[in-house]
Structure 1
Amino acid sequence: MAVSRSYHSVFPIFLFVISLLTLAGCGSMPKPVRNLGKTDVDFVMDVHVKQQKELLMELTRKLYVRNPDQLRKVENITLEDRMRQIFGRPGELELQPLVFEELGGKTGIDAILLSFDESFQGDRVFAAVVGLSEMLRRSYNHQQEFFILDSLDEQALYNSARNIEVFVWRLYHRENSDGDLFLLTNHFGDEQIDTSFDRIFAKMVMVQDMMAYIVADKTNRSITKVAHGVAQFVFLPIP
Structure 2
Amino acid sequence: MQFSARLFQLICTVLLVALVAGCGSMPKPMRNLGKSDVDFVMDVHAKQLKVQMVELTRKLYVRNPVQLSKNPSATIDSRIEQIFGPEESIALPPLVFDELGGVTGIDAILLSFDESFEGDRVFAATVGLSEMLRRSYNHQQEFFIIDSLDEQSLYNSARNIEIFVWRLYHRKDEYGNPLIYTNATTDTGGDISFDRLFTKMVMIQDMMALIVADKTNRGITKVAHGVAQFVFLPVP
- TM-score band w.r.t. shorter chain: over 0.9
Q: Select which of 217, 232, 235 maps to 2:232.
A: 235
Moved over 4 A (4+): 3-11
1:101 match:
98
Helix, strand or coil for the counterpart of 2:44?
helix
8 Å Cα contact 2:89-2:141 kept in structure 1: no
Q: What's the offset of the Cα at 1:189?
A: 2.1
Q: Select which of 178, 181, 185 maps to 2:178.
A: 181
Q: Find the aligned partners of 1:118 and 1:163 in 2 and give their Cα distance.
A: 20
8 Å Cα contact 2:149-2:212 kept in structure 1: yes
Residues 1:32 and 2:29 are matched in the alignment: yes
Q: Select which of 212, 217, 221 maps to 2:218.
A: 221
Rate the CA distance shift 1:138–1:92 in 2: closer, same or farther, 3 A: same
1:113 match:
110
Rate the CA distance shift 1:81–1:172 in 2: closer, same or farther, 3 A: same
Please tell me the residue identity of whatever aligns with 2:15. Answer: F
Q: What's the offset of the Cα at 1:17?
A: 2.8
Residues 1:19 and 2:24 are matched in the alignment: no
8 Å Cα contact 2:135-2:235 kept in structure 1: yes
Note the aligned Cα RMSD (angstroms): 1.8
Q: What is the aligned residue count?
A: 236
Cα deviation digits, residues 20-51 of structure 1 (max 9, x gap): 222x2x22112222111111111001000000
2:88 match:
91
8 Å Cα contact 1:175-1:182 kept in structure 2: yes
Please tell me the residue identity of whatever aligns with 1:59. Answer: L
Please tell me the residue identity of whatever aligns with 2:19. Answer: L
Q: Select which of 157, 160, 169 maps to 1:163.
A: 160
Please tell me the residue identity of whatever aligns with 1:157. Answer: L
8 Å Cα contact 1:17-1:33 kept in structure 2: no
Range 174-183 or range 10-19, more displaced: 10-19
Q: Find the aligned partners of 1:93 and 1:82 in 2 and give their Cα distance.
A: 20
Range 168-177 or range 91-100, more displaced: 91-100
Helix, strand or coil for the counterpart of 1:36?
helix
Helix, strand or coil for the counterpart of 2:35?
coil
Q: Find the aligned partners of 1:83 and 1:93 in 2 and give their Cα distance.
A: 18
Instruction: Calculate the TM-score normalised by the size of structure 1.
Output: 0.93
**Structure 1 residue ranges without an equivalent (≥5):** none
Q: What's the offset of the Cα at 1:228?
A: 2.4
Q: Find the aligned partners of 2:89 and 2:42 in 1 and give their Cα distance.
A: 18
Please tell me the residue identity of whatever aligns with 1:62. Answer: K
Q: What's the offset of the Cα at 1:8?
A: 6.0
2:39 match:
42
1:122 match:
119
Q: What's the offset of the Cα at 1:149?
A: 1.1
Instruction: Calculate the TM-score normalised by the size of structure 2.
Output: 0.94
8 Å Cα contact 2:90-2:142 kept in structure 1: no
Q: Find the aligned partners of 2:86 and 2:7 in 1 and give their Cα distance.
A: 43
1:194 match:
191
Q: Find the aligned partners of 2:91 and 2:9 in 1 and give their Cα distance.
A: 33
Q: Find the aligned partners of 1:108 and 1:126 in 2 and give their Cα distance.
A: 12
Cα deviation digits, residues 32-88 of structure 1 (max 9, x gap): 221111111110010000000000000000000100110000121111110110001
Range 180-189 or range 87-96, more displaced: 87-96
